[in-house]
Amino acid sequence: MQLIFDRIEIADGHRAALGGSPDGEHVVDQFVVGVAPSIAAAHVFDLGAQAHSWSWSIAADVAGGCTLRSVSIVLRVVDARGPLRMFRHGYQSWSPCDVAVFGLHRDPSFAEGSLELVRGVHQADQRVVSDPDELRSEWLTLLVDDSGSPVLIGFDGGDRHDGTFRLRSGVDGPELWCEAFLGDALLAAGEERHLHDLLIAGGAPSDVLLAGWATHAGRVGRARVHAPYQVGWCSWYHYFHDVTETDLDHNLALADPWPFDVFQLDDGYQAAIGDWLITNEKFPSEVGAIADRIAAAGRTPGIWIAPFLAAPDSRIATEHPEWLATFPDGSPLITMFNPPWGGGLGGFMYGLDTTHPEVLEHLEHLAGTLVDVGFDYLKLDFTFSPSYDGVWHDPSRTPAQRVRAGYDAIRRGAGEAFLLGCGSPQSAVVGVVDGNRIGPDVAPSWPIEAKTDPLAGYRGSQPSTRNAWFNTAARSFMHRRLWLNDPDCLMLRNAETELTSEQMRTWALAVGMSGGMALVSDDLALVGPEGRALLDEAIALGRASDAAARDGGVPTSPELLLGPTPGMLSTRSSALTVDPESGGSQVE
């Protein structure tokens, strides 16, 4: 299998034939595209792979500005032997990672009943794909055929624009469109934008290629990878939205014998989505007093916020309607639906406009205030919100730049506090988060709970421990190269759960062997001696695996390309094989 440079494509089908050469500048309608091999190609990867990179840029015609949806380098796939398979890397934290067969599987947007609001959560481009055979991957991908020699293609960053790989049917066979997605950003007359470098590597196993790419992308993005290994408690997976101050104090009182560094209050304390400094009737204390009690118990206080969302009846939305992004008709842009939040429109939430200077000042002040009152650990959730199509204060910003601007404002306010990204477009947050969620929510069940209504096309994003396992294995290579991986919480309780003891153990071993963050999310009164022993085992595994990761020995998923979903997670000394249907596992 080979990838051969063919042409440049602008936006929705405007074409320039380039005669098979990537060098030089090429005029396409109102744009000039420059593509050239990078002089740094020889040392992009240092793990034995054969790699090269292309640098490119796009400029608007000097006669006038115009909007740009996307620009793509198109590569022809030639001499493929047998079925062509694609590793599909998900867009944000919860978006599934899997391996699809070209011509057999479908893009999730193509599913009957797929909703635009949901597509915007899980894809950089929220539209339905135009080609029924098209497969998409975000930020990076691997292609492999029956020769067994994979090729990695990836962008070296994502804070300037998203990067989407589209495997499509072409006139002469399959084509890979390597797309810089700018989301209808407005380019001023004569403006030039340097796009993220495109990397292509082969000649090595998939785990080596992924490790090399992540190491390089982390270096380019100045990844924050030096925070300590994290052990803690989180309120979410036992109490959910119904958590009370009494529940928090109850677990804090039981925590003395437990090895928690962080004690994190999750969703349920706030007066409204968007009003994070005001508690509701379930929390008589102010947020600062809550932080003080956690700190007095010897733990780092942590708190959850969804900083880019605002409930329609929240104080922030009603007092500052000018801070909201809008639909073209001027109504507030809806970027999330979660019925338990209420909010005046049955759970529909508005998106704050992170291109508005006052919104950025608000976010910086919010983070600074939370840190000042004692919270040195901030969990930032549902942070895909600024990526939606809409009308924004600054139309020149891409969706990725809107996401990153919000994160950068929070980092300015938070100083050196630990920031955990969640629901985050993965490529946009390298260099600003310390930890990052890499999979869907776990749940007190192995498969998707029967009461959960699966989203058309996006079952793999739904809360379940099975789905969390898949992404933990598939994204294991990112740990300590791009951030600290957060596989999501351990589940240890022996009551109020549908997990069997074997499934509970499988997940604990997966979290431990991944080296990622280890947070418990149970009512501690329901965790018996067996659960506590399992936690101690997971932490011991986690500390050893994390220490190895500091030396470059990040866990791998060596059989990643052999099936639709990963079935193994390996470290230098052992391997965990998981049966995805039963949740059983074996360690070798």
Catalytic residues: 381, 441
| Distance separating alpha carbons of residues 165 and 355, to the nearest angstrom | 27
| Distance separating alpha carbons of residues 541 and 512, to the nearest angstrom | 5
| Distance separating alpha carbons of residues 289 and 283, to the nearest angstrom | 10
26's CB contacts (< 8 A; 6+ apart) are 8, 16, 18, 32, 33, 34, 35
The Cβ of residue 219 has, within 10 Å, a number of other Cβ atoms equal to 12
CB 562 within 8 A of CB 444: no
Strand order in the sheet with 575-578: 568-570, 575-578, 585-587
Write the CA distances from 37 to 53, 73, 192, 197, 198, integer angstroms.
Answer: 6, 13, 18, 10, 10
| Distance separating alpha carbons of residues 66 and 53, to the nearest angstrom | 28
Closest CA to 316 of 346, 374, 358, 368: 358
Q: Which residue has the tokens 């500005």?
A: 65
SS3 214: helix
Write the CA distances from 465 to 108, 120, 316, integer angstroms.
Answer: 21, 24, 35
DSSP code of residue 470: H
DSSP string, 217-244: HHHHTT----SPP-EEEESHHHHGGG--
Q: Which residues pair with 25 in a beta bridge?
A: 34
How many degrees, rounded to 5, is the angle at CA 150 between CA 144 and CA 155?
105
> If you count DSSP H runs as helices and E runs as strands, how many of each does the chain have, helices first?
11, 31
| Distance separating alpha carbons of residues 178 and 285, to the nearest angstrom | 51
User: With 0-12 CB in 10 A as exposed, 13-18 as middle and 19+ as buried, what is 222?
Assistant: exposed
